Amino acid sequence: DQPAQLPARALPTAAEGPFAAVAIEKSVDRALDYAIPKTLVGSVVVGQRVRVPLGRGNKPNFGYVTAIKPTTDYRDPSKIKPLLGIDDKRVLIPPTLMELACWMSRYYIAPLGLVLECIIPSAVKKRTGVGYITFVQLAKPREEVQAFLEKAKAPKRRAVLARLLQLEPGHSVELLRLAKEAGVKPNTVRKLAGLGWISLKAEVDLPGMTADTLVVPATEVSIALNEDQQKVFDDILPRLSPPAGVDGSTQPSPSAGFSVNLLMGVTGSGKTEVYLQCIERVLAQGRQAIVLVPEIALTPQTARRFVARFGKVAILHSGLSAGTRHKYWQQIATGQAQVIVGARSAIFAPVPNLGMIVVDEEHESSYKQDQLPRYHGRDVAVKRAQLEKVPILLGSATPSLEMYERVRREATAGNAENHHGGTEARRATRNSADHSQRHDLKQIDQSRVAAGAKSSSVELPSVPPCLRGDSSSSNYHLLSLPRRVRGLSLPHVEVIDMKQEMRMRRGVNLFSQRLEYMLTNTVAQGHQAILLLNRRGYSNYVHCPSCQHVVTCKYCDKTMTYHRSTGEHTLSAKIMASAHAGQLHCHYCLAVNTLPTQCPECGKLLSLFGLGTQRVEEEMQRKFPDIKFARVDSDTMRSAKDYEELLGKFGRKEIQVMLGTQMIAKGLDYPNVTLVGVISGDTALALPDFRAAERTFQLITQVAGRAGRGDLPGRVILQTFLPDDPTIQAAIKQDYVGFAERELISRKEVGLPPFARMARIVLRDEEADKVQQTAEELAGELAIAAAGTNVQIKGPMPCAVGRIAGYFRHQIVLQSPAATPLQRVLASVRARGLLNKSERIAVDVNPVSL
């Protein structure tokens, strides 16, 4: 049913409608109108992927129908080209996802076609694994077949026809199945078609679609919630019902619909169990749930719990084959998959009847995509929940300050409203215990309000319209799980002042005496430990002690990191360096050089500086030769499978200590881990970013949370050169609220997010002069657009890393106390084609790092 591709330059013209507006999978920042050929009128619908000719050569391109319209705004409709065909009828972007994509395109300054392209997995677009299934139907009247059966001899044909007669009139059966059931070869069936007895119809399908690839028998039943969990669950429950009228059998709830629920729960407080039980409710209503996790590879335990609890779970991870990915997509689109667990792009799962969204570890910066479209999975999730009118549950032990501030403010506003209006039924039924829990949060709110009132000259930013609920703002809810499950206590954190340690023991020691002692002790008792060092490689500086030369990357303004060759575990650092049995890696452009024997400047011997996981590994081997340990970083863990295997060994206690980067800080739940050592609590604090403190707090709290999850109490040894730093102090107490309140006050004072909106524009070019000139021109345009608004244009200035992979980089930062004016400035410059004209201009709205 698809017209053959037309030769270039010979396209018929079509002045008559209807027309299709098509967003092309290219950096074309507007939809283009195409005429719908007569044969396709009625078949072409919004959300379809279509083939269209583009440019002078009429090269076929793919795009998505964004509208069907009777007329076109083109000046000369006779020049409008016809659409070439529908790419795949089964691939259809549902209306809410279409709307979501339009919002993303506007909000993140990304061409709509590119947003839509990233919504559909490439396995689906490439039709990986698609085959044909042939269906068989009787082609002659049943009486005639009956008569044939009574007199004919051919037993095989009779078996086939007899089976077909058992079908209800007009029904068909899959050819392979029919052959099997009749005990004949498929060809025997096909021959009957040649004889006119049956008709065959081939349908495009994914083989195995209907087979039970998804159905894994649920092996786990729900745990009885503890008191804290029950309170949280009871609070959310009314909001989990379908909105009035959606499901006749359920009492429509006044609180149903869109709501944002931020669950602040300390590590090991049983947040996941709350997610599971909420989802159970939603599935019981015949609706589906999407669960976002930061990185599946790093959280296999969490993903597995969903599979163990529910039958039809699609886990979207990077290790899936393209065929399976395609199959999953279809199973999601047909509602066969009920729970979809995946990293950020899982938010685009085309579920037909969404009931709720869960975002685990909502603070994780890996939710942000660093390529076009530069979206934040958590924010897109909130927007989708709003569009689909469903609740979203965001969980974290260390919520992002953006989300914490927004929800707290909105929840306070909502509560105030309800004190006056008091209409919501659930508030009447809420028990008093629930009140006491709310009370804690309210107290914080009030103290905050008081603190804010003092400096009331600072205007509070409004929530962007995209994240605001339809009716009142009371659909924001702050919930908390302040204690660990089963009465377990949070691990005790001990701080080791490394300055003092150095004085005491002369020279740099990677392990303080205390950590050394505790590590030996822990292992001797048969327990396990996790050691964190947030930097891979061996040492992050290669430096000449005589002339101070530091080896930098040839292509980037970055020092190179020394990586020791693998497999040579016995040589000491010095010998390794002089024998140059290792390489220099650039973590930015991934360039690899051999380690120079001598300083390229003065010819003296180079030395290694700064810590990396390899260095700690070497020290471990020297100090604790009997401890079985593994280094876990992206150098040793090349695939999700490596990591799974390693976790398996750790679970079976074949490994006593895991030493690694932030990879091991997340989500791991091993009851036998009683010790967590943070080799250097300061590495993240040193980042040149206003979120450095937030990152440090999150990382320490998260990794500390791995200890003491079983019946044995946990202990954390935190080594730092900055023991008095307030962030380190808050992390020691694992006092999120204390940290957040202090940090929010300082962010507010200097007007940083969440009290400001930011966008960052990075320009790059091989030539330094050219990038500077382009950046200055763009900054000029932005300044004109921002005139008379409260949007500040900062820059252009060279980026923190001024050159990467041979490209010089300049940045312009836009900052405003509120989102709307900033969006307006960007939109006006974008409308003039200045932002999406080249791949060398990258716009990042709400950047997670600067």
Annotated binding site for Zn(2+): 544, 547, 553, 556, 586, 589, 599, 602
Q: Which does 591 bind (CB under 5 to 8 A by kind): Zn ion, ligand ADP, none?
A: Zn ion
Q: Would you give the distance in Å from CA 365 to the centre of its chain?
A: 9
State in angstroms the smallest separation of the CB of 415 from Zn ion. 52
Nearer CB in complex with ligand ADP: 486/499: 486
Q: Which of 164, 296, 332, 589 binds Zn ion (CB under 5 A)?
A: 589
The verdict on 586 binding Zn ion (CB under 5 A) reads: yes
Q: Which does 99 bind (CB under 5 to 8 A by kind): Zn ion, ligand ADP, none?
A: none
Amino acid of residue 228? D
Q: Which does 265 bind (CB under 5 to 8 A by kind): Zn ion, ligand ADP, none?
A: ligand ADP
The answer to whether 747 touches 757, Cβ cutoff 8 Å, is no
Q: Distance between CA atoms of 317 and 336, rounded to whole angstroms?
A: 18
Tell me the window of 219-227, 247-255, 498-506, 717-725 that interacts with ligand ADP (CB under 6 A): 219-227
Within 652-671, the residues that bind ligand ADP by CB under 6 A are 669
DSSP 653-696: TS-SEEEESGGGGSS---TTEEEEEES-TTTTTTSSSTTHHHHH
The answer to whether 849 touches 689, Cβ cutoff 8 Å, is yes
State in angstroms the smallest separation of the CB of 271 from ligand ADP. 3
Q: Distance between CA atoms of 106 and 747, rounded to whole angstroms?
A: 27
State in angstroms the smallest separation of the CB of 804 from Zn ion. 6
Q: Which does 781 bind (CB under 5 to 8 A by kind): ligand ADP, Zn ion, none?
A: none
Q: Which does 588 bind (CB under 5 to 8 A by kind): ligand ADP, Zn ion, none?
A: Zn ion
The answer to whether 300 touches 644, Cβ cutoff 8 Å, is yes
Q: Which does 272 bind (CB under 5 to 8 A by kind): Zn ion, ligand ADP, none?
A: ligand ADP
Q: Distance between CA atoms of 69 and 52, rounded to whole angstroms?
A: 17
Please give the structure tokens belonging to residue 825.
Answer: 């400035």
The answer to whether 143 touches 220, Cβ cutoff 8 Å, is no
The verdict on 553 binding Zn ion (CB under 5 A) reads: yes
Q: Distance between CA atoms of 256 and 421, rounded to whole angstroms?
A: 18
Burial annotation 285-300 (CB, 10 A radius, 16+ → b, else e): bebbbbbbbbbbbbbb
Task: Return the closest-CA partner of residue 228 out of 256, 253, 264, 282.
Answer: 264
Task: Return the closest-CA partner of residue 702 out of 223, 360, 340.
Answer: 360
The verdict on 555 binding Zn ion (CB under 5 A) reads: yes
The verdict on 226 binding ligand ADP (CB under 6 A) reads: yes
Within 38-57, the residues that bind Zn ion by CB under 5 A are none
Q: Which of 486, 505, 569, 604 binds ligand ADP (CB under 6 A)?
A: 486
Nearer CB in complex with ligand ADP: 664/679: 664
The verdict on 551 binding Zn ion (CB under 5 A) reads: no
State in angstroms the smallest separation of the CB of 362 from ligand ADP. 12
Q: Which does 273 bind (CB under 5 to 8 A by kind): ligand ADP, Zn ion, none?
A: ligand ADP
Q: Which residues fall within 8 angstroms of residue 779, CB to CB, at 6 or more apart?
A: 793, 795, 796, 812
State in angstroms the smallest separation of the CB of 769 from Zn ion. 21
The verdict on 225 binding ligand ADP (CB under 6 A) reads: yes
The verdict on 591 binding Zn ion (CB under 5 A) reads: yes
The verdict on 229 binding ligand ADP (CB under 6 A) reads: yes
Q: Which of 51, 157, 231, 271 binds ligand ADP (CB under 6 A)?
A: 271
The answer to whether 69 touches 101, Cβ cutoff 8 Å, is no
DSSP 554-593: SSSSSBPEEEEPTT--SS-HHHHHHTT-EEEE-TTT--EE
Of all helices (H) and strands (E), which one includes residue 810? strand 807-816
Q: Which does 229 bind (CB under 5 to 8 A by kind): ligand ADP, Zn ion, none?
A: ligand ADP
Q: Which of 272, 386, 412, 774 binds ligand ADP (CB under 6 A)?
A: 272
Tell me the window of 476-484, 547-555, 619-627, 663-671 that interacts with Zn ion (CB under 5 A): 547-555
Q: Distance between CA atoms of 300 and 639, rounded to whole angstroms?
A: 13
Query: What is the number of alpha carbons within 13 Å of residue 395 lying toward its C-beta?
Result: 28
State in angstroms the smallest separation of the CB of 221 from ligand ADP. 12
The verdict on 489 binding ligand ADP (CB under 6 A) reads: no
Q: Which residues pair with 313 in a beta bridge?
A: 339
Nearer CB in complex with ligand ADP: 6/225: 225
The verdict on 223 binding ligand ADP (CB under 6 A) reads: yes
Q: Distance between CA atoms of 48 and 454, rounded to whole angstroms?
A: 54
Give the DSSP letter of residue 196. T
The verdict on 556 binding Zn ion (CB under 5 A) reads: yes
Task: Return the closest-CA partner of residue 586 out of 544, 548, 536.
Answer: 536
Within 240-269, the residues that bind ligand ADP by CB under 6 A are 265, 267-269
Site residues (vs Zn ion, CB under 5 A): 553, 555-556, 586, 588-589, 591
Site residues (vs ligand ADP, CB under 6 A): 223-226, 229, 265, 267-273, 485-486, 669
